[in-house]
């Protein structure tokens, strides 16, 4: 699909935030790891959440779903002896299930996105699984990956946290099910640390005990525990909504996004404060974010590691700010669906933005007068690149054509529909997908 994004003066209206991707993957997983039947209300519907549905079903969970709610009969620590799993392009799903697969005799995770997930590194998790007595075959730390497990061991386990927090989360999900007690130590820095809070939150909701140090670098986990079946409710998604809020923030608009919990462990909740710091008039009451957009934003300096999946949308807003913005501590954006520093900035430059990269920083010299646009954008298989360039297109002089925009469905299939309902000038051209 091509998205033809045209200059749009004003966005107006109210939308319901999509359901959280990261809570959905977690609740589906712990529902599958439970003995008994759990329910999940308002699970997300997207390629990534569908990948989790597909894989836990293949592993033996029984799922039923209506409009609002899904029930999951879990397999506990006894997944079915499946030979192959297809996680699509979902990093979190792959990494979480690599540990679960260690209960199986032999599972291969196939490589369906060689130019996206197929390029992402998993060595740190592979190292940890080996410490647990699991044999892992891989191609240079990347997909396809075959896990030969059976009886993973607990004990002392180390995991590096400087590429992705998903490796640690993955171990935290399975360690309580092991025969032995475990002690997990995080080596190096722990990136995307806030999201580990979501992992610990959902694990505790399922009645599991994990003792975590205050800095989240050290864990004691009693073995032989069981996930209890529970009833979970998925909250609204901040990372996806960040793009809607930024689009509203840079246009002359009046937009409300409902279902964004004020008390949330999603790090990307911080985008509300980031936009406010840029001068956007924004209130957040009763789980409703109300944005009154402005044509005059101001630049700022932000630690992007606190709102990892919201950085690209905030960079897109900074493109129109007065002054130079700096997003630092974002090196691990290089290991996502694409290199979200080099690849993303290349597309922004095409649109006419003035941006610079450092190894772990994005620097934006804002252009309050707008950017020319009038070019075609490569999506790099990345939903967040698509969402961010759409924001830029809305405030460009000549608009932008975003190629392969269907990849937005990785997390937010209704993104363009939501923008259209707010009055955005966007034309969607269906073409043969490749």
Ligand X SMILES: O=C(O)C1=C[C@@H](OP(=O)(O)O)[C@@H](O)[C@H](O)C1
CB of 215 to ligand X, least distance (A): 16
Count of residues engaged in binding ligand PEP, rule: CB under 6 A: 8
Q: Does 8 bind ligand PEP (CB under 6 A)?
A: no
Q: How far apart are CA 259 and CA 69, in angstroms?
A: 17
Give the one entry of ligand X, ligand PEP, none that residue 165 binds, where binding means its C-beta sits below a cut-off of 5 to 8 angstroms depending on kind.
Answer: ligand X
> Looking at 411, 415, 418, 426, which residue binds ligand PEP (CB under 6 A)?
411
Residue whose entry in the numeric block shows the structure tokens 């130079």: 324
Give the one entry of ligand X, ligand PEP, none that residue 102 binds, where binding means its C-beta sits below a cut-off of 5 to 8 angstroms depending on kind.
Answer: none
Of 309, 343, 382, 404, the active-site residue reads: 309
Q: Does 166 bind ligand X (CB under 6 A)?
A: yes
Build a one-symbol-per-residue string for 71-110: x at contacts with ligand PEP by CB under 6 A, - elsewhere: -------------------xxx------------------
Q: Which residue's beta carbon is nearest to the bound ligand PEP?
A: 91
- Cα of first residue to Cα of last residue in the chain, in angstroms, is 10
- DSSP-derived letter for residue 227 is B
Q: Which residue's beta carbon is nearest to the bound ligand X?
A: 164
* Window 363-392: residues binding ligand PEP (CB under 6 A): 384
* Window 173-192: residues binding ligand X (CB under 6 A): 191-192
CB of 434 to ligand X, least distance (A): 24
Four-residue CA torsion sign, 414, 335, 340, 303: positive
CB of 189 to ligand PEP, least distance (A): 18
Q: Does 343 bind ligand X (CB under 6 A)?
A: no
Q: How far apart are CA 5 and CA 398, in angstroms?
A: 9
Instruction: Report the helix count and the strand count for the chain, using DSSP H and E.
Output: 12, 26
Q: How far apart are CA 229 and CA 208, in angstroms?
A: 11
For 188-216, the DSSP string reads S--TTHHHHHHHHHHHHHTT---EE-TTS
> Looking at 47, 124, 309, 331, which residue binds ligand X (CB under 6 A)?
309
Give the one entry of ligand X, ligand PEP, none that residue 384 binds, where binding means its C-beta sits below a cut-off of 5 to 8 angstroms depending on kind.
Answer: ligand PEP
Q: Does 165 bind ligand X (CB under 6 A)?
A: yes
Annotated binding site for phosphoenolpyruvate: 21, 91, 120, 166, 340, 384, 410
Could you tell me if 164 and 127 are in contact, meaning their C-beta atoms sit under 8 angstroms apart? Answer: no
CB closer to ligand PEP out of 120 and 418: 120
99: nearest Cα among 68, 133, 67: 133
Using DSSP, state whether 234 is helix, strand or coil.
coil
Give the one entry of ligand PEP, ligand X, none that residue 169 binds, where binding means its C-beta sits below a cut-off of 5 to 8 angstroms depending on kind.
Answer: ligand X
Give the one entry of ligand X, ligand PEP, none that residue 325 binds, where binding means its C-beta sits below a cut-off of 5 to 8 angstroms depending on kind.
Answer: none
Q: Does 199 bind ligand PEP (CB under 6 A)?
A: no
Order of strands, sheet of 426-429, starting from the edge strand that comes earlier in the sequence? 375-377, 400-402, 2-5, 426-429
153-188 burial, b at 16+ Cβ within 10 Å, e below that, comes to ebeebebbbebbbbbbbbbbbbbbbbebebbbebee
CA distances to 319, 375, 396, 397 from 351, rounded to whole Å, are: 10, 6, 8, 10
CB closer to ligand PEP out of 92 and 289: 92
Q: Catalytic annotation on 397?
A: no
Using DSSP, state whether 240 is helix, strand or coil.
helix
**Catalytic residue annotation:** 309
Binding site for ligand X (CB under 6 A): 22, 25, 92, 164-166, 169, 191-192, 195, 308-309, 332
């Amino acid at each position: 699909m091509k998205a033809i994004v045209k200059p749009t003066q004003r966005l107006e209206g109210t939308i319901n935030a999509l359901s959280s991707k990261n809570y959905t993957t977690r609740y589906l997983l712990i529902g599958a790891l439970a003995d008994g039947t759990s329910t999940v209300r308002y699970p997300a519907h997207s390629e990534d959440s569908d990948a989790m549905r597909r894989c836990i079903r293949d592993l033996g969970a029984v799922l039923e779903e209506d409009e609002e709610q899904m029930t999951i009969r879990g397999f506990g620590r006894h997944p079915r002896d499946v030979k192959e799993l297809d996680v699509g392009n979902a990093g979190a799903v792959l990494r979480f299930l690599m540990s679960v697969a260690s209960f199986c005799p032999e599972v291969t995770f196939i490589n369906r996105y060689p130019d996206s997930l197929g390029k992402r590194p998993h060595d740190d998790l592979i190292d940890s699984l080996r410490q647990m007595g699991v044999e892992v075959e891989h191609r240079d730390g990347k997909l396809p990956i075959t896990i030969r497990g059976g009886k993973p061991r607990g004990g002392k386990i180390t995991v590096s946290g400087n590429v992705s927090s998903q490796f640690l989360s993955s171990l935290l999900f399975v360690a309580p099910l092991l025969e032995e007690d475990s002690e997990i130590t995080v080596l190096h820095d722990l990136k995307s640390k806030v999201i580990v809070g979501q992992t610990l939150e959902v694990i505790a909701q399922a009645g599991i005990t994990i003792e975590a140090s205050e800095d989240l670098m050290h864990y004691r986990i009693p073995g032989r525990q069981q996930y209890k079946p529970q009833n979970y409710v998925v909250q609204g998604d901040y990372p996806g909504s960040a793009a809607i809020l930024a689009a509203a923030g840079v246009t002359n608009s009046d937009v409300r996004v409902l279902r964004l919990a004020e008390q949330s462990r999603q790090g990307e909740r911080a985008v509300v404060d980031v936009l406010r710091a840029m001068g956007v008039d924004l209130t957040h009451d009763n789980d409703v974010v109300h944005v009154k957009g402005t044509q005059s934003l101001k630049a700022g300096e932000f630690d992007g590691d606190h709102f990892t999946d919201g950085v690209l949308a905030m960079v897109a807003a900074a493109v129109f700010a007065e002054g130079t913005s700096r997003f630092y501590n974002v090196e691990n954006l290089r290991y996502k669906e694409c290199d979200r520093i080099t690849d993303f900035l290349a597309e922004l430059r095409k649109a006419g933005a003035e941006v610079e990269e450092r190894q772990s920083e994005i620097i934006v010299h804002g252009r309050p007068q707008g950017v020319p646009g009038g070019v075609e954008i490569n999506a790099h298989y990345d939903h967040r690149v698509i969402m961010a360039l759409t924001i830029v297109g809305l405030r460009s002089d000549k608009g932008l054509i975003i190629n392969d925009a269907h990849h937005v469905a990785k997390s937010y299939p209704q993104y363009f529909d939501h923008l259209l309902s707010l009055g955005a000038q966007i034309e969607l051209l269906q073409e043969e997908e490749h």
